[in-house]
Chains A and B, each alone.
Chain A
Amino acid sequence: MVIAMMTWVGTMVFSLLLGTLLCYKVEKSGVKRWGANGKLFKYK
């Protein structure tokens, strides 16, 4: 049970970290059309 639940939690953590890294790369690109606006998770 613990292994199964930890596998799920592990995939969630991986997904959130990968998403954060890609948001960071969008910010680093500085391209406004792609969503770069100065803050990592600001989307408007």
Chain B
Amino acid sequence: MVWYVTVFCFYIIFLIWANVKSLKTAESVDDYTTGGHRMGLLLGIGTTAATWVSVASVVGVPGYLYSSGVAAVIGWVAGWCFGGGLIPIVAYKIRRPEKPARTFPEYIRHRFEPFQKKSTLQAIVGILMFIGYLLLVNIQVTGFGIVFSSITGIDYKLAIFGFLLFILITSVGGFWSVAATDTLNTILITVGVLLASGVIWSLTGGLGNIVETLATTTAPTIEGGPPLEEGILLSPLGTFGLGALFSIFISNSLGTPSSPHWVTRMLAPKNVKVAIMQVMGTILVLIFIMGPLIIIGLGAKVLIPSIPAGKTTDYIIPLVIQEFTPPIIGGITLVAICAAAISTANSMLLHCATSLYYDVYLNISSKRISDRKFKNWLRLSIFAIAAVAVVLAIKPPWFLAMGFVYIYGGFGAAFFLVVILGLYWKRMNRAGAYAGITIGAVVYVVAKAMGYTVPFVIAVAASLIGVLIAVYSTKKAPLEAYEPYFKAEISDATRRVLNDVRNSSHEESQVKAGQSKIG
């Protein structure tokens, strides 16, 4: 307990230091939302890896490895990796404009409604993003609560309110604050899971013993539950079945490159190449996080054959770490898991608040406000949304990793075609975007509610049909809409339209000359 609290205190001191430092960097709205489109490679890898590794990865995935076996590697680890591999396809085009969009809905506006004074499409996307990210933050709060209550012994319902303190600290400086703390979080997460997996490896006697146990165990996942089929934990389909595993893989993979926070991440690097290399570097870093998590999740079955009744599989990591690792390693690992929750949540809260305030409110009201006012309102929105997410987490609605699958599936169903076709097909137009987003979102929710195994595939197929009908029955997209994503040099008319869109919702301040390049 003393070790856990000591490590936690050091972590809080670092967060405060990093945020005070990054406050001095955040100057304009561009800085606050996308780091001024000038992020370097190393900081980019740090923040991308930390956002990638959420509680769904460090708590949820080991839980599924424990209960369903190696199939979770295909569904989540490989699914996210494949989806991550597709992000550079988006980065290659979306970072091309000299002045890129600040947010994902603003990109949608640039590409499909550049002439509208008030963009309905931007507002619709903003609202969908707000709903999705509120639920994703809720998942992070739940994971944080599970770990924080395990460390401190405080009741879960009280522990989740500790999350607000961290959000207050990490969100004041906007994107730079998020990126700076994320980079340390990545180091902390990597060290934490490497140390913990080393202990698990040593206690279980290595991979041979883990595989032998998985091949023969029939111990139920939860004490008193039905016994497992022998060998099922080593089967590629695990306890899921082909349809369910395919659905998990496809939602995680195709949902990733069209998830608004990943698209926005690709707007932050200083150029196209840095954006691409940022993802490649992250995939290499993740080997040292996902590999240990696989060992911990599978090794847990050797150490704790069944979870005590009344707990879910999301508790397996705290249980293993508290019972089997030395206090200092346990402290670092559990703080690392909290760091994963915080680093993903603060990034998502920033997107959530920005979409609601910038893409919905300022867009529809056509108000013009100063940079300072913009940032203050955004900070207030972030804290208010975090408070709502905490209240919603009092009764967690789902398993952490599966909640991610549902929301990534929803984002993919609504945005996959709009993002990919918008960047690679000049003919893609405003009507196609409306059709793609509405049909994709509605069909996904209906298919999910009706219990179909592959709602994502059904929704994207329906959305594609709708897009093709809408695009070919209406006028081609104007040059001003697609030119920045297809040409290195744009026409004066396009430049004028883009400037109008950027300046329509707030007054741009004079950005100081010679801005530092960070990262």
Interface set of A (CB-CB < 8 Å, partner B): 1, 3-5, 7-8, 10-12, 14-16, 18-20, 22-23, 25-26, 29, 31, 33-36, 41, 43
Contacts and interface: CB of A to CB of B under 8 A. Distances in A.
Contacts of B287: 12
Contact of A7 (B74, B277, B280): B74
Contacts of B92: 22, 25-26
Interface string B88-100: 1101100110100
Interface of B: 41, 70-71, 73-74, 77-78, 81-82, 84-86, 88-89, 91-92, 95-96, 98, 211, 214, 234, 236, 271-274, 276-277, 279-280, 283-284, 287, 290, 488
A16 B74 CA distance: 18
A4 B70 contact: yes
Contacts, number: 92
10 contacts: A5-B73, A15-B81, A15-B283, A16-B283, A18-B89, A25-B92, A29-B488, A31-B488, A34-B272, A36-B273
B254 to A, nearest CB: 13
A43 B96 contact: no
Contacts of A22: 88-89, 91-92, 276
A11 B84 CA distance: 9
Contacts of A1: 70, 211, 214, 234
Contacts of A26: 92, 272-273, 276
Contacts of B488: 29, 31, 33-34
A11 B287 CA distance: 12
A27 to B, nearest CB: 8
B213 to A, nearest CB: 12
Contacts of B277: 19, 23, 41, 43
Given A12-B81, A31-B488, A23 B74 contact: no
Sorted nearest first, the 5 A-B pairs with minimum C-beta distance are A35-B273, A15-B85, A35-B271, A19-B280, A4-B70
B96 A34 contact: yes
